[in-house]
Structures are given as C-alpha cells and as structure tokens.
Amino acid sequence: MFTRCTCHFSSQACLLVPPILERTFHTTSPVLKRRPQEIKKKNIAKKLSILEAEKASMPDPVVGIPTEFTKSLLRPLEIYKAATDPNATRYMNFFLDKKDEELLFETTPKKVAAEIEKSHKVGDEKVDDKFNNSTALVEEEKKAEIFKSLVSLHNSNAKSIMMYNVKKTVEEFGRNENDTGSAEVQAAVLTVRILNLHEHIKNNHKDKHNYRGLRKLVHKRQKILKYLKRESLERYYTTIKKLGLDERVIEGEIVI
C-alpha cells in the first residue's frame, strides 16, 4: 500500500511513498513469558488436586461418618463377645424395658419366695426349716438369673439384635412412639439395615447376593432423603446430620 505524499514538490517520485511501519518494543524477555500450554497444564493439575481433596473429604456413601446415633447401635459380634464378661451391659430381648426387668428379676422372686414360706407354715410354726424365707429367696434369685440369661440379647440371633436397633431408631427419629412411616424414620431404619448388612458382608466377602441387596438399600435411602429435602429442609439436614451422611453423597451419583 502506498500513500500520497503531502510535500509541496510536484515530482512524480514524491506522489506515492511507502507507509512507515511502527515497531513495538517489549521490556519482558520472551523466555519469561508464560506459554498457553503451561497455563493449561497448571490449570488441569489444580483441578485434579481439588477433585482429589473433595474425594478424600467425602464420606463413605454406605456407612457415612460415625455419629452418636450410629455408635449407639448394637453390633452382633460385640454382643456375643461381651457374653462372657460379667461386668458388660446386658441388653434384653423381646422389647423388655426397665420396668419389665424390675418386675421379672427383682419383684417376682421376692413375692414367690414369700408365698413358698407361707405354704410351708402351719399356724405360727414352721413344718420344715429348709423352706425358710432366705433359702427360698436364694433359689428364686437363681431361677431369675437363668431366665434373665435366656431372654438376653447375647443368646439371640442377628435378626433380634437388628429388631432391637430398629425399635431404638423409631424412638429416636419418630415424632411419637407410633410413628413408623415418616421419611426420617424410614431413612434411619434403612440405615440400620445397611449397617447390619455391611457388617455381614465384611465378614463374608463371597456373599454376592447380599452385596446386590446392599446397593438397593443405599439407593432406596437416597431416594427417601431426596423426598425429605423437598418436603422440609430443616428435617432433612437434621436427619442427615444424625445419620452421618453428606449432602454430596445424597445428591450425587453413588458408586459402591
């Protein structure tokens, strides 16, 4: 491209002159410039480190983070190991509570011993000294201890222990004692079943059938918790906090 000369000469050589090209100068050395490929590599490495940190912080989608509630649940192996320890806490089967234990193992032996003593008296005289109140009470207390051992959870199976945990779960998450159908109760009961099945699979690695059942239970719990989130955010966050679950596990894809 040529431009017309602005000088006052009418010479043909001055009519068209080439343009003056401007040159730019940089104070930074080209060696110090960051190339686009280097920037891309650093960005990819940064993203990978963030993903690894999130993966490391994400709890297990099956068992979650141990909480006060999940720690309070009974495990069959722990119950069976504590059976030989006389100082270990004994848990009752058949949904017996403290009032039932007091009636069966404290009040009843005393009353039976008193009735035995009365039956061996004629007037004010004792027929046989072997059947005094102290002897009868000792015998009845022995019977009560045997009966207590029979109805204890350490003599039951894993299903009875899970039923005990389910009853405890309904008391913890239910709005009342008869609430067994609310979303939080269903999610908590599924968590009890999941933990029980997970404990079984850890000790029986070749049990593929129950492994498939475990995945179904985890996805069913996820579906119920999503429903609970749509219904009430307050109940949703309270429930997942007690169960030790993370929102990323519930909302994202579960890989077991």
- Per-residue pLDDT 10s for the chain (256 aa) are 544 555 554 555 455 555 555 555 555 555 555 677 788 888 888 888 887 877 777 777 888 888 999 999 988 888 888 777 777 788 888 888 888 888 888 888 888 888 887 776 655 555 455 455 578 888 888 888 888 888 888 888 888 888 999 999 999 998 888 888 899 999 999 999 999 898 888 888 777 788 888 999 999 999 999 999 999 999 999 999 999 998 888 876 666 6
The per-residue pLDDT for 2 is: 46
**How many whole angstroms separate alpha carbon 103 and alpha carbon 98?**
9
**What's the start-to-end Cα distance of the chain, in Å?**
70
**How many whole angstroms separate alpha carbon 66 and alpha carbon 85?**
26
CB 72 within 8 A of CB 243: no
* Full-model pTM: 0.69
**What residues form DSSP beta bridges with 126?**
121
The per-residue pLDDT for 28 is: 56
Burial of 188 (0-12, 13-18, 19+ CB in 10 A): buried
**How many whole angstroms separate alpha carbon 181 and alpha carbon 203?**
32
Amino acid (one-letter) located at 127: V
- How far does Cα 86 stand from its chain's mean position? 30
